[in-house]
Each structure stands twice: as structure tokens, then as C-alpha cells.
Structure 1
Amino acid sequence: MVTSTFDLFKIGVGPSSSHTMGPMSAAATFVSRLADLEIIKQVTRLETQLFGSLALTGKGHATDRAILLGLSGQMPENIEPDAADMLVEQIRKSANIRLGGVQDISFDEKTDVIFDQRKRLDFHSNAMRFTAFKGEEALESRVYYSVGGGAILDENQIGANDRETGLWDVPHPFCSGADLLEIAETKGLCIADIMRNNERAAKNDGEISEAIRQIAGAMSHCIDRGIQSGGILPGGLGVKRRAPLIHARLMERQERALSDPLTILDWVNLWALAVNEENAAGGKVVTAPTNGAAGIIPSVLRFYERFSPKADVDGVEKFILTAAAIGSLFKENASISGAEVGCQGEVGVACSMAAAGLTAAWGGSPLQVENAAEIGMEHNLGLTCDPVAGLVQVPCIERNAVGAVKAIEAARLAVMGDGTHRVSLDEVIETMRKTGLDMSERYKETSQGGLAVNLVEC
């Protein structure tokens, strides 16, 4: 089982890949289904039911807004945030929605988008059901699951053998870190080359490089936008965007770097904060592998580009491809969904991916890359997801900065060794999976425990 680089890294909008991008895609997919069945013109009402984590934290994660946009035919990768705001305002003001840009129907958000906080569907906590009506008659109904990183499955795709579930024909299939290391040794390839060879099943080398360039460029632009954007983040917590002020201070005190080598980490913190503040504001980000952890890989990648003497385009490609290979292992053998395994599946996985990518870009061996990935996750095991007020702000934004620094530390530890270590990446992934199963539902993106409760009480 191998997930493509370009399924893990997707350009979309904040604040959440699973709670915003996934539901938007699911809503748009359902409307497209109505059109394919040639019944869209018969629809007079459309009801959306949200369950589990989507119901509990959907308001703070802008799931309701995403549903409106998706039903209107908008997709995360194509949307412009300002235009989206205007469309949502228009729908709410007129109490009317144009399904897929084709069929106008009355739309009462209070009754047509239902947050069922008492029910959780069995397969995944991020579940939603869309039902199209003609009068009182149900024309079509479908359940979709947002399984992390913006990916969705409908009720018929669960376990299906197709590209959407991560199964596709590649020259180097791998299911574990041990598989990766064996392929690397027997074929004489680095992990990035293994992943590139697999991507050739769908793209040529020029297309692969161009797609990576677009991903890296979108990450960089998000950092720059976040640095330039001030003000208060939406949602009611009153969280102030700090990136512009931190950037100004760093620019004013550039001579400090001569006496304080840790100033480099201030820049890493800045870049991670900038991305996740942009995400929290609903801006364009890259799932890496999720929106909640979107700041870690971009900040570590920029750290490589700015502070590595031999940084080049080839190193960037190695970074992204290697990170994707590691991300694939977590997605297929555990989870990248905070609603399923807590924040260890988001920030923890992103830290592991970034550590592996940086090690590869520095010229590390496959064994050192695997070691770095293992270190990155080992010290994020048990990380809970308890967003205050259901918003992707506290503790999420700062957690990305800490995760980025931890990834750099993991890479440095790995390259100082020869790649041999006591705990394998596969053992850590399995431990992460089991820890997620043992974790209370209160700490799986429900805002029913931890900081989400105690901050209010204090």
C-alpha cells in the first residue's frame, strides 16, 4: 500500500483538512452524483447530517461553511478565500443555494445542516450523511467519511481496491519501513528515488518535478502571506496573529544572530506560526499531511533552503518525496486523523515526515532517514487533540512551531549516528496506532477534554 505524494500534499483552504476540506469535497461529490444520476433538477431540499468529531468541533472548524461551499460546487483546490466568503454570505442572506451551480433550492442552514453530537458512526468519527429530497421523498442519500488530510471515502469505498484508498500499481510497493529499507538496499536506491519511481506510474519526471515545485511554492507563499497578515484570528478567542511582530523584531535584531546561534530557531518558529495563523484564518495552505499540522514541513523545508550550505532544487525534491514515503506509512498503517488517534496523528506525523525529509536532503542514508522518522514520532506519542473552542488555534498554532524544532533535532540526532537504533519506525507506528485506540474520545478532536475544558474552567 502506497499513498501518492500528491495525495498527501494537497493545496486547499483552512482551517482543517478533515473538517473543512473533506466535508467541502464530500458535499461537492454528492451534488455531482445527483447530476450524474440526472435527478439534480428534481431536488427541492438537501439535508446534511454531521456526526462524531465533525458535529462536536465542526462550528469552530468552519465545517458548516465548507458544506455550503461544497454544495455550491466549490472544491478546496480551486477556491479563493475572499470569493468564498462572499458566496457563503450570499447563501445565508438569501436562504437559497444553487446546487452545483445548476439547481436553485431554498436552504435553511439551521434545519438543513444538522450537528448530531450524540451519534458517532462506526467506521470513522468524521462522518456525514447527505440526503436529497423531492418534497418529502428521499431521492438519494450517501454517507461520506473524512479520513484525514482532506481525503474522503463514501460508504461503498471502504476497503475498495482503488487509487482513492491508496492502492495503485507501482514498481516498488511497500507496506512498512522495513520494506522501504529492503528495497533501498537491494535496488541501490534512496527513499526519494523509490517514491519517484512509484510516482512515474502516473506522471513523467517533468510532471513530478513541476508538481513538487508547485507544492513547495504554495508552502513558501503561505509563509510569506502569514508574515504579512496581522489582526485577530476569527472564532471569538481573540487570538492575535503574532507572525508580523516576530518578523519585524527579527529583522530589527539581525546582528543578534552573531551572538545567539539559536536565533535560527526563532526563524523556524516564525515560519511555522505564520503558516498556521494563515490556516486558522481560512487561507490557502498545503496539507502536510493535514491542515492542523500544515506549518511543520514548510518551516523545516525553508530552514533547509535558508540555512543549509548545499541546499538546492534536488534537495527540495528529495525532502518532499522522502517525507511523502514516511507519511504514506503512517496513513496506511495507523492514521493521520486527529479525530481518530489524537494530535500524534497530525503534528506527530508531520514531525516524523519533516525529520525524514530533512535528513534525506542533507544526504542521509536510508537507515538514517528511517531513524529520523522514528525519533520524530517517538517523542510525540500520546499527543492529544483538544482544541479550545473547537478552533484550530490553541494549542495548534504553537504546537506546529514546537513540532518543527523537534523535527530538526530528530534529523540532527539521526545524521550524527550511523542509522542503527533500538526502536524501529514500524514499532513506533504500531505503538502510535495502539495509543490512538486506547486514547479517550475526549482527546480526539472533540473539545471535550484537556485544554478545551480546563482553559475555560481556569
Structure 2
Amino acid sequence: MDVNISVTDLYTIGIGPSSSHTVGPMRAAKRFVDHLATEGLLIKVNRVLVELYGSLALTGHGHATDIAILLGLSGARPSEIDPEEVEPGIAKIRDMRKIMLGGTHEIPFYEDDNLLFLKDQILPEHSNGMRFSAYDKAGEQLLTKDYFSVGGGYVVSYHEGDRAETRGHNVELPYPFTSADELLAIGQETGLSIAEIMLANETCWREESETFAFLDAVNDAMIACIRRGCEAEGILPGGLKVKRRAHKLYQGLMENPERASRDPLTVLDWVNLYALAVNEENAAGGRVVTAPTNGAAGVIPAVLKYYQRFCAGTNQKGTRDFLLTAAAIGAIYKKRASISAAEMGCQGEVGVACSMAAGALTAVLGGTNEQVENAAEIGMEHNLGLTCDPIGGLVQIPCIERNTMGAMKAINATRLALSGDGTHVVSLDEVIETMRQTGVDMLSKYKETSQGGLAVNVVEC
């Protein structure tokens, strides 16, 4: 049976800098400890060994995977942890060389021995593989589990047959769809918009009011992230000495309100600002919304904020419809391809976010379902082949600016789609399959390994 994907799977509130390399590993570590507790084994544990493979091993230090593992083993959840508490908590573990599993059971923990980055090895199921093993005082293995972070903070454990933190993914939906063609057909048969179809499906998991509350919380978190990014100054962590730019841009825009009357493209500066603010917060380990990933977390908030501030007739329903429409598009990508840069390159992250945002903006500006599908297709078609080659394994260069470009492409895709009647040559399903094939063919050095592209051609400062 095909696994159903909820709007809560597409948007999760967590911390940066990476959904697949930070949020996913933290969830996996916590799940492993929870499993030990459930099996009555936690009290017997004297040693834990964590082995990271593939892309997690190659870029894990730059993506704070080590920190995420320590936090998860300690019982932390990405959605609940205070970013301000991360640094002192990690410092305590490293200074004491002890870790409190699940917050209740203390064991020795030496990172050099207990957390291994196996850069020359890969697990066959996925390039973002993790293996957790627990041992008692006699050295006997109590439990071992493999987990895979498959994009957007989504964690798979094939041993458990479990695909996500949320439950009920095999419920019977009123309007199931696995492709854009199926989604359009449902709309034609029922007269429902894509947002209405997605909302109807969500009622299988929760009351409509709960879904609205979730969407409102996602919007609030996105806007709060933009605000924090506009206020923060300084140098981003990691060693590249990348300066935050959002604050200076924000000040310049606020100090020159008349600029818009002289330069009609000033609105683009605001969109750039929104995307920069979010992704600088993400790079600093701040609280962001995975949408659908952390590396691409700035695209959807930037386009959503553009809609709320610069478009006529905006309201709360429009914001909710925006997020629901984007989620429906993102669900198709997750089902038919992947949103993991370790599998698809950055076309699977910024490209997918651009496609989601383009379709969502088209919907709330009055576009038909066919125009929404057209905009989403345009958004991806012109991101095909986009590589993931972060310098130093950090989600900074080219990732931060790339989110501004994704937001711009999304807005332009909307304008192109709204200028037509929804008919076009290349379908969204065809472009998703093309993205998938391109990702499969793409050399691994261009898929979040920092072994190719800018990562090797730019000298780290």
C-alpha cells in the first residue's frame, strides 16, 4: 500500500542547519533510545556506538550531525529544543565525557570512539545511513538499528517498517493521489481546488480546526524566523566567515521607503531579504520550518511573505491555502522521486521548494488547478540538474543565495502560468520523473558530499 503523506510531514518546526543531516539524525537517535526504553533495555546499556555513512559522514561535521546525534541520544526533539540551550548542553557532554540517554540513564561517551564518521562506506538502502548499537557492561550487544534520513527530516527504519514520526500513514483518504495527473482529475471530477482536496484528506488524521491551527503555527514560525533573521548580525559559524547580510539589507530598505517609487524592482529586494533572513538563521542553527527541507527553508516563507505583503486581497484563508497547495505538490515529489539532496542534488531541495511555492502562489492569486500544475512544472523545469556542492559541508555557500533565486523563479513561474490557460507541453509528472532520472544519473560528488563543484574549486578561507 502506498504511504500517505500529510501536511505535517512537509512542514516541521526544528533547528538548522539541515533537515536531512541535523533534524533527521536527531530524530533517529531519540527513536533508538526510545526503542531501548520500550524493550526494557535502557537500564542495561553501558556503551552506545553510532556509525554514520555516505553523505552524513562526508558533510556531517559541517551540518552539525554530531551535535544532533548527541542531542537526540539525550532525549531532545527538534521541534521542542531551544536553540539557545544547544551549545551549553553539548559542551557539558564533551567536558564530562558522559551522556544521559533519554535524559535518565548516564553512560560514558567518548566521541572519537562512540561516534564514527565512516566516509568511505555507504549503506545500500540510502546515502544518508546511520547505525546505532547498544552494549551492556560485558560488551554484549543489546540492540542494533539502521536508520536512513531520506530528506526533510523524514526518517526511515526498514527494520521497523516505520516511515515517519507521525502515525496513520496508511489510512484511507477520500481523495488519494500519487501524481499530478490524478490530482487534476480529482479536481475536475469534484470541482475542488487543490487546497480543498488536501484539506479534505487531512481530516483523516485530525479535525479541520487542528489542521488550521497547525498551518497557522507554521506561518507564525516562518514569519518569526524572517524577523529574527532581519534583526541578527555577525558572522555565521563554521569557519567560512560568511557575514550575515539580511540585517543591513533590511535597514537599507526601511531607511529609504521612497526607493520603491524610483525603482519598481524594489519588491525583489524584499523577497531577497526574506529568503536571506531565513537561511542565515538556518545556517546559524536557529529555529526554522523545514519546507520541505532546511537547506531550502527560505523559498516558501519568502514567497508566502511576498503574497501577504505585496498582493491584493490577502487573508488568513489565503495563507492556509498557500501552505496546503504547496504541501500537495511536495507530497507528489516525495512519492515519485525524493526531496533529499543526497539522492537528487539541490534540484531535490531548492528545486522542489521553488515548484511548491510557484504552485501555491498561483493558487492564491486565483489560478485554476491546471495553472497551478503549470506553475509547479515551470518551477522545477528550470532547476533541473541543480547540484548540491556546499563549500566546507556548510549550508551557506551557495545555499543561502540559492534560496533567493528559488523564490524569484517561483514568482516568475506564477506570472508565466497566470498569463496562460494552464495548457502546456511538459507535465508536472514528466518533469518530476526527469528530475528523478537526473538525480540517479548525477555523479555522487555533486550530491551533498562536498567532493565536487564549488566545494573543491573554491579555497576555504
TM-score normalised by length of structure 2: 0.97
Letter in 2 for 1:11: I
Q: How does 1:357-436 map to 2 (within 5 A)?
A: 357-436=360-439
Letter in 2 for 1:67: I
* SS at 1:47 equivalent: strand
Letter in 2 for 1:392: V
CA contact (8 A) 1:159 1:165 kept: no
Matched, 1:34 2:36: yes
Match of 1:291 in 2: 294
Match of 1:123 among 100, 122, 125: 125
Deviation string, structure 1 residues 339-397 (Cα, Å, up to 9, x no partner)? 01100000000000000110011111000000000000000000000000000000000
Q: Distance in 2 between matches of 1:13 and 1:353?
A: 21
Shift of 1:160: 7.2
* SS at 1:183 equivalent: helix
Matched, 1:328 2:331: yes
Q: Distance in 1 between matches of 2:347 and 2:418?
A: 24
Identity of aligned residues (%): 57
Match of 1:447 among 447, 450, 454: 450
Matched, 1:248 2:288: no
Q: Distance in 1 between matches of 2:390 and 2:334?
A: 22
Match of 2:14 among 12, 15, 19: 12
Q: Distance in 2 between matches of 1:161 and 1:46?
A: 23
CA contact (8 A) 2:173 2:204 kept: yes
Letter in 1 for 2:74: S
Match of 2:194 in 1: 191
Q: Distance in 2 between matches of 1:155 and 1:128?
A: 12
Letter in 2 for 1:294: A
Shift of 1:166: 5.1
Shift of 1:155: 2.7
Q: How does 1:174-185 map to 2 (within 5 A)?
A: 174-185=177-188
Match of 1:156 among 156, 159, 176: 159
Letter in 1 for 2:229: G
CA contact (8 A) 2:156 2:162 kept: no
* Structure 2 CA distance for partners of 1:400 and 1:409, relative to 1, 3 Å: same
Q: Distance in 2 between matches of 1:62 and 1:336?
A: 20
Deviation string, structure 1 residues 167-218 (Cα, Å, up to 9, x no partner)? 4321000010000000000011000000000001011121111110000000
Q: How does 1:86-125 map to 2 (within 5 A)?
A: 86-125=88-127
CA contact (8 A) 2:380 2:431 kept: yes
Deviation string, structure 1 residues 387-425 (Cα, Å, up to 9, x no partner)? 000000000000000100110000111111100000000
* Structure 2 CA distance for partners of 1:161 and 1:144, relative to 1, 3 Å: closer
* SS at 2:359 equivalent: helix
Deviation string, structure 1 residues 48-83 (Cα, Å, up to 9, x no partner)? 000000000000000000000000000100100111
Match of 2:441 among 413, 435, 438: 438
Match of 2:284 in 1: 281
CA contact (8 A) 1:54 1:125 kept: yes
Deviation string, structure 1 residues 13-61 (Cα, Å, up to 9, x no partner)? 0000000000000000000101011111111110100000000000000
Deviation string, structure 1 residues 296-338 (Cα, Å, up to 9, x no partner)? 0000000000001111111111100000000000011000000
Q: Distance in 2 between matches of 1:27 and 1:376?
A: 35
CA contact (8 A) 1:162 1:168 kept: no
CA contact (8 A) 1:268 1:303 kept: yes
Deviation string, structure 1 residues 130-184 (Cα, Å, up to 9, x no partner)? 0001132111100000011001011324587996695432100001000000000
Q: Distance in 2 between matches of 1:457 and 1:230?
A: 22
* Structure 2 CA distance for partners of 1:22 and 1:373, relative to 1, 3 Å: same
Letter in 1 for 2:57: A
Letter in 2 for 1:208: T
Letter in 2 for 1:362: L
* SS at 1:148 equivalent: coil
* Structure 2 CA distance for partners of 1:160 and 1:100, relative to 1, 3 Å: closer
Q: Distance in 2 between matches of 1:430 and 1:309?
A: 35
* Structure 2 CA distance for partners of 1:100 and 1:159, relative to 1, 3 Å: closer
Match of 1:72 among 74, 84, 90: 74
Letter in 1 for 2:403: N
Match of 1:223 in 2: 226
* SS at 1:456 equivalent: coil
CA contact (8 A) 2:157 2:163 kept: no
CA contact (8 A) 2:374 2:424 kept: yes
* Structure 2 CA distance for partners of 1:278 and 1:322, relative to 1, 3 Å: same
Letter in 1 for 2:412: E
Letter in 2 for 1:420: T
CA contact (8 A) 1:24 1:76 kept: yes
Match of 1:354 among 354, 357, 362: 357
* Structure 2 CA distance for partners of 1:101 and 1:153, relative to 1, 3 Å: same
Match of 2:265 among 246, 262, 267: 262
Residue-pair matches, total = 458
Which residues of structure 2 form unaligned runs of 5+? none
Match of 2:142 in 1: 139
Q: Distance in 1 between matches of 2:151 and 2:390?
A: 16
TM-score normalised by length of structure 1: 0.98
Q: Distance in 2 between matches of 1:457 and 1:37?
A: 47
* SS at 1:302 equivalent: helix
Q: Distance in 2 between matches of 1:164 and 1:143?
A: 20
What root-mean-square deviation, in Å, do the aligned CA atoms of Structure 1 and Structure 2 show?
1.5
Shift of 1:3: 1.3
